[in-house]
Structure 1
Amino acid sequence: MTAYDQVAWARRLKVKHLESFMVLDEAGTLTEAAARLHMTQSAMSHWLADLEELVGTPLVTRGRRVQLTPAGIIMKRLAISVLGDITRTQAELGALAQGRTARLHIGSVWAGVARGIPQALVEFQAMYPYISVTVSESPLTQLLEGIDNKQLDLVVCSLDARAYKDGLEHRELFDDNVCLVVGRASRHWNAQGPIRLIDLVQDNWIMPPPGTLTRSQLDAALLDAGASWLRPKVETPAITTLQALVHQGDYIGVCSEAMAQYQVALGNMRILPLDRTIRFGPVGVIWAKDNTAEAVKLFVEHIAEVVGQSTQRP
C-alpha cells in the first residue's frame, strides 16, 4: 500500500464524526446519544454504521449499553487528541484576536498552589506580559487527564509512577510531607508536641477522598501507628472547605505540608506536632513531550528557579 492508501480513510473523516463518537461513548446508548445530538435514533445508527465502514472495523458492541471495541478505544484516543488540538487552537486564535500572542494553561494540586506557583506567576508575567495564563486546581487524576486531552499545558503535582508514563516529561521541584492541621475552635490549638498519632484516632477528622496520595500516605501512617481503622467525619478535596470547618468546629484536618505552612503564615491554622513524619513525596511539574510551546519551557524553568531559591533560604 502507498502512504496515500494507508491514510485515505482519514481523509474522509470529519470533526463531526469524532465529536459524535465521543458523545456516544459518554452517553452509553444510541438513544441518549441521539437525544444529545438532536437527531433521531435511526439517524444515529446510520451515522455509526457509516463511521465503522469508513474505519473498516466495528467500533462498539451493541447491547443494553454500547461498549467500545479495541478499535473503538483506539478511535477514542484519536478523537481526544484531535479535538484537544482543535480546542487549544481555537483558544490561541481567540487570544491572538484580542492582541495576546501566547496562552499557558496550568493545573495544580494544593501543594503547588501553596508553594511556588503564586510567586512564580507574578514574576513570570512581569517578564512575559504577552503570555496569558489560566490556572485550575483539581485532583491528580483529573490533572493528568487534562494533559492527555491537551486542555492543560502543564501540571504541578505529586510525582508518582504516572509521571513516568510514555509521552510525558517531568521535573522535580521539592519534597513534601503530610500534615495535620487545626483551627482556633480545636481543643488542640495550643497543644505542645510531640503528639502520638494513635492518640488522635477518636477525634473528628477531615480527610482527602480515598485514592488520593495524601489519603494513602496517611492511612499507611495510621496503620503503622496501630490504628487499623479510622472513619473521618468529613471527606473533601477542597482546601476552602477544610479551612472553613476547622474554624467552626473541633476538627483535625489533613493537607500537604506546603499548604499547611502557607495557612500557618496567614494565621489561619496550626500544624499539630506529631511523633512522626508522614512523607508525601516529591512534587514537580509534568507536561507532554510533544508540547513544544515556548511558554511551557519558560514557565518550567522559572518555577524551578523560584522553588529552588525558596528551598535555599534559612
Structure 2
Amino acid sequence: MANKPVDATEWIRRIRLRHLEILQTIAQQGSLTAAANALNMTQPAASQWLADIEAIVGFQLFVRGRRLKPTPYAAPLLRHVERVLGDTRRVMDEMAAVHGGDGVLVRIGIMLVAASQLIPDAVKDLRNNGSEVRLELFEDNAIGLWSRFERNELDVIIGRLDERALSSGYPNERLFADQYCVVCRPDHPFARKRKPVWSDATKYPWIMPPHGTPLRVAIEATFAKEGAKTPVAWLDSVSLTTTQVLLRDTDCLAVLSRAAADYAHSLGILKAMPLVLNNDIGDVGDVGMIWKDSEPDPELESVLNAIRQANQKH
C-alpha cells in the first residue's frame, strides 16, 4: 500500500478500541496465526482487521511473512495504543471503584531508594489524615518502572532523577540527594577496615546491577577513577531479597542507596561502608518524583503532597 498520512479528524472518526486491541495483540504475538488464536478468530479475519487498521492510519505497519516484521511506522503507533488501552482500563477501574464506594486509585512506582522510609511515612500520613484514596505500589528498577509509566500503568514514579527523567518533558520535583555506598555483612573482613579503599573491594566477590544500567555504569566508572579494576560479578541482580541473603551468607559486596543501606544497618542486617560512588560520573544522586499531568487530579495531588511532607521529616 502507498504510505500516506490521513487527516486526524478522519482517524478519530474511523478508529475503534477494537482496532487498537487487535493491533496490540498482533504486535505481541508476532504472527497473524498466533494473534488469531489469542483473539479467538480466524487467521483471515485477523488479516482483514490488520488491513483495515493500515487503511485507517494510511501506513503499512507490518511486512507480511511467516513472522510479521514491523515497519518504522508501527513503533510510534503501538506506543500510543498502549497508552490509550491503559487509559481505557483505568477509566473502567475508576468507575467501578466509584460504584462500589471505593476511593480513586493512584498507582505509585518506586525504586529501592524510596522504599524504606519515604513511602511508608507518606502512606501513614495519608491514612492518619483520613484519606480514602486507593494506593497500588510497584517496586522495580528504572527500566521496569519507565516501561509501566509509558504504558500509563503508573501515575507517578519515585526514584532517581536521571537523564531520562529530566529530558522527558514530564513534570518532576527533586526531593533529596542520596549517594550509593558499598555494603557487606556486619562481620565481614572488609567491615573491619578502618579506612577502606576501592582497591580493597576488588578482593571480594560482588553482586552487581545488570549491565548497561546507570548504576552499573557508575560503579564501573568509580572503580576506573580510583585506579582499580572492576571485579567480576558473582551475580547480576535487581532482587533486594536475594542480594541481602547472599550478602549475609557470603563474602560478597554490593552497592545500595544510602537510604536503603542505613535502614538495613539499623536492623543489623548489613553494614554501610564509607565508600560512595562518585556523583560526577552519572545521574545517580538526586531522588524525586515524576508524573505526567501538569495539573494532576486531586487524588494524585494528595499523594504528591503526602510524599512532600514525609520528605520534610528526614
Compute the TM-score of the two structures, normalised by the length of structure 1. 0.90
Secondary structure of the corresponding residue to residue 168 of structure 1: coil
Say whether residues 1:36 and 2:38 are aligned partners: yes
Aligned to 2:197: 196
Query: Residue 42 of structure 1: CA displacement?
Result: 2.1
Contact 1:214 1:256 in 2 (8 A): no
Query: Residue 166 of structure 1: CA displacement?
Result: 4.4
State the distance in 1 between where 2:167 and 2:88 align. 24
CA RMSD of aligned residues (A): 2.0
Aligned to 2:117: 115
Could you tell me which of 29, 54, 69 is aligned with 1:52? 54
Contact 2:190 2:196 in 1 (8 A): no
Alignment of structure 1 residues 54-73 onto 2, 5 Å: 54-73=56-75
Could you tell me which of 85, 102, 105 is aligned with 2:104? 102
State the distance in 2 between where 1:128 and 1:71 align. 48
Aligned to 1:127: 129
Contact 1:206 1:234 in 2 (8 A): yes
Say whether residues 1:214 and 2:215 are aligned partners: yes
Cα distance change of structure 1 residues 167 and 93 upon mapping to structure 2, 3 Å threshold: farther
Cα distance change of structure 1 residues 184 and 166 upon mapping to structure 2, 3 Å threshold: closer
Aligned to 1:91: 93
Aligned to 1:297: 301
CA shift digits 1:218-266 (9 cap, x unpaired): 1111111222342111111011111111122221122111110111111
Specify the code of the residue in structure 2 equivalent to 1:198: S
Query: Residue 129 of structure 1: CA displacement?
Result: 2.7
Cα distance change of structure 1 residues 57 and 290 upon mapping to structure 2, 3 Å threshold: farther
Say whether residues 1:307 and 2:311 are aligned partners: yes
Specify the code of the residue in structure 1 equivalent to 2:62: V
Say whether residues 1:230 and 2:234 are aligned partners: no
Could you tell me which of 11, 14, 22 is aligned with 1:12? 14
Say whether residues 1:25 and 2:30 are aligned partners: no
Aligned to 2:242: 241
Compute the TM-score of the two structures, normalised by the length of structure 2. 0.90
Aligned to 2:144: 142
Question: How many pairs are equivalent?
Answer: 304
Determine what percentage of the aligned residue pairs are the same residue: 30
State the distance in 2 between where 1:296 and 1:188 align. 44
State the distance in 2 between where 1:96 and 1:219 align. 50
Aligned to 1:265: 266
Contact 2:218 2:277 in 1 (8 A): no
Contact 2:102 2:132 in 1 (8 A): yes
State the distance in 2 between where 1:98 and 1:211 align. 45
CA shift digits 1:282-314 (9 cap, x unpaired): 01000002662212222222212321231xxxx
Contact 2:176 2:288 in 1 (8 A): yes
Secondary structure of the corresponding residue to residue 65 of structure 1: coil
Query: Residue 95 of structure 1: CA displacement?
Result: 1.9
Specify the code of the residue in structure 1 equivalent to 2:309: E
Say whether residues 1:78 and 2:93 are aligned partners: no
